[in-house]
Amino acid sequence: QVQLVEAGGGLVQAGDSLRVSCVVSGRVFSMFAVGWFRQTTGKEREFVGAISRSGDRSYCRESVKGRFTVSRDNVKKTVYLQMNSLKPEDTAVYYCAAKISGSMDIWYDKSSDYGYWGQGTQVTVSS
């Protein structure tokens, strides 16, 4: 059974940095492309960033580009979302999601692409 467990959320001030992690277990980790999404109350879940199986390709949405980075450690079976220069509008529950991908170098930006989800971790940025 595939399980995703996020960690590292918390309360920070605007301008601070935070790194959230996602441990994937249950299948061979290198089979998965992984994405990050976020959701606030009353809004739809939105794509934040994603990384391919190989880790050579990654992408973040325009509103966080230059501040957020997605990376992975295939030995630790973990994907990271490094968030710098955080803003109050980054406040959300952050979810990681995994997809068994046939390609080593494709990332996916639609929630419907992913079959496995974590429980989410709250990130709150105060002004």
pLDDT for 27: 87
pLDDT for 110: 97
Percent above pLDDT 70 for the chain: 100
pLDDT for 83: 98
Distance CA 77, CA 61 (A): 24
Distance CA 45, CA 38 (A): 6
pLDDT digits (tens, 9 = 90+) for 73-110: 999 999 999 999 999 999 999 999 999 999 999 999 99
107 residue type, one letter: W
pLDDT for 105: 95
Residue 14 CB coordination number (10 Å): 13
pLDDT tens sequence for the chain (127 residues): 999 999 999 999 999 999 999 999 998 999 999 999 999 999 999 999 999 999 999 999 999 999 999 999 999 999 999 999 999 999 999 999 999 999 999 999 999 999 999 999 999 999 9
Write out the H or E segment, with its range, that includes residue 38: strand 32-39
pLDDT for 107: 98
